[in-house]
Structure 1
Amino acid sequence: MALIAFLFLLVGPAIATIAFFRRLSTRGHLFLLSLCVVYGISPFLLTWGAFGSAKRFGCSAEAIRFRCPSPVWLGDVISGLAMAHWLAIFAIPSAILGVIGLLISGILQHRRSRTTGGTSGETPAVFYRSRHHKVIAGVCSALAQRWHQPLAVIRIVTVVLAIVIPGFIFLYLWCWLAFSIEPRLQQQVDVKGDSGK
């Protein structure tokens, strides 16, 4: 339960850090900003939808549970959704942190584009996911190259961590979203450099 609460708290900041690493355009920032706002109000939307569904299917409220005439299992689903508003305890602070992070990222991106004049192109990312040596997303290959470790060792450690720590999959998915794949120009330079050896 604590892990689920921790993951709910991380959603907003994780969305904001995607904007930091990807160096998104204004449209990208606005999309992520709207995603944070929807995430923050989603517990209330789920509860509102549950009460609407209960009325539509003729379910009756008994204390904190709903009973539906048919199908019977629908009462349990509506009861669970009706209690979703408690998730706002985690979703709203997370969404607020995400919005603050996105605003800071947007301001920094605007300042960076004004100082460079927009002529020098994009600044290089912290690291790129590999285009060549990927099985799923190229995250392990990028980590192996960054830390100067064998690729097989990084992949084995990743699989073990994904089995042992349930939330590790979300970290991998976040890396997939946060770090862009290596540009084709860099790939062609690497291939030309390797052929000359």
Structure 2
Amino acid sequence: MVYLPLISIFLLVGPAIATIAFFRRLSTRWHLFLLSLCIFYGISPLLLTWGAFGLAKRFGCSAEAIRFRCPSPVWLGDVISGLAMAHWLAIFAIPSAILGAIGLLISGILQHRRSQDTGSTSGEIPAVFYRSRRHKVIAGVCSALAQQWHQSLSLLRVVTVVLAIVIPGFIFLYLWFWLAFPIEPRLQQQQFYVKEDGGK
């Protein structure tokens, strides 16, 4: 039961990175950084396994079936055994990294076209959705969604906390919202306050 959310998280890391670049409308430099992050994520299980064998050789540990036993310290054998099995995660990490890399390339092309269409020299284009600065407790995600969906902020916060407790992977979805959408610009916030004061 626990394995399914973990597998889902491992599979969604690459696409999640790509969608962060897409929604934030990042520059080419950031796209390249996230692309290198995707590649590193894809090969990280293999690097962990390679590092485990290096540690085993360094500390004189011997392999017994699928476990390692180390003369000193004894607990290191369990750590190396766990790291040596990390290569199985490549089954999920490599496809996820490939999807993320493809998504980043598409996002980079779309961003380049957007900047050409708008004539923006900086490459910065306003985001589609902003996290709210008003009534922010952690990241302003709930406040922005409540404003967008015209729902009660308190109710949305209660639902978010309940879902975070009941669904183990929900906290990663909240974290993705935090990373994928920028905070509301101060200029836009000031305009909101001016409109609000003018209506009173």
TM range (shorter): over 0.9
* SS of equivalent to 2:85: helix
Aligned to 1:80: 82
- TM-score with structure 1 length normalisation? 0.97
| Distance in 2 of aligned mates of 1:120 and 1:147 | 32
Q: Secondary structure at the match of 1:190?
A: helix
Correspondence list, 1:143-158, <5 A: 143-158=145-160
* Deviation sequence 1:70-121 (CA, Å, 0-9, x none): 1211101100100111100000000000000000000001111112111698
Distance 2:122 2:36 in 1: 30
> Which residue does the alignment assign to 1:14?
16
Residues 1:131 and 2:115 are matched in the alignment: no
Deviation, 1:125, is: 2.2
The more displaced of 118-127 and 83-92 is 118-127
Aligned length: 197
Helix, strand or coil: the match of 1:125? Answer: coil
Q: What is the alpha-carbon distance in structure 1 between the residues aligned to residue 13 and residue 130 of structure 2?
A: 22
Superposition RMSD in Å: 1.3
Q: Percent identity?
A: 83
**2:107 aligned to 105, 108, 114, which one?**
105
Select 2:94's aligned residue among 73, 76, 92: 92
Report the Cα distance in structure 1 between the residues aligned to 2:121 and 2:41, rounded to whole angstroms.
Answer: 36
| Contact persistence 2:26–2:124 (CA under 8 A) | no
- 1-side partners of 2:9 and 2:122: how far apart? 38
Structure 1 residues without counterparts, runs of 5 or longer: none
Work out the CA distance in 2 between the residues paired with 1:169 and 1:103: 27
In structure 2, list runs of 5 or more residues that go unmatched. none
Question: Contact 2:115 / 2:123 at 8 angstroms: preserved in 1?
Answer: no
* Change over 3 Å in CA distance of 1:120–1:3 after alignment to 2: closer
- 2:175 aligns with 173
Moved over 3 A (4+): 119-124
**What is the TM-score normalised by the length of structure 2?**
0.95
Whether the 8 Å contact between 1:127 and 1:146 is mirrored in structure 2 is: no
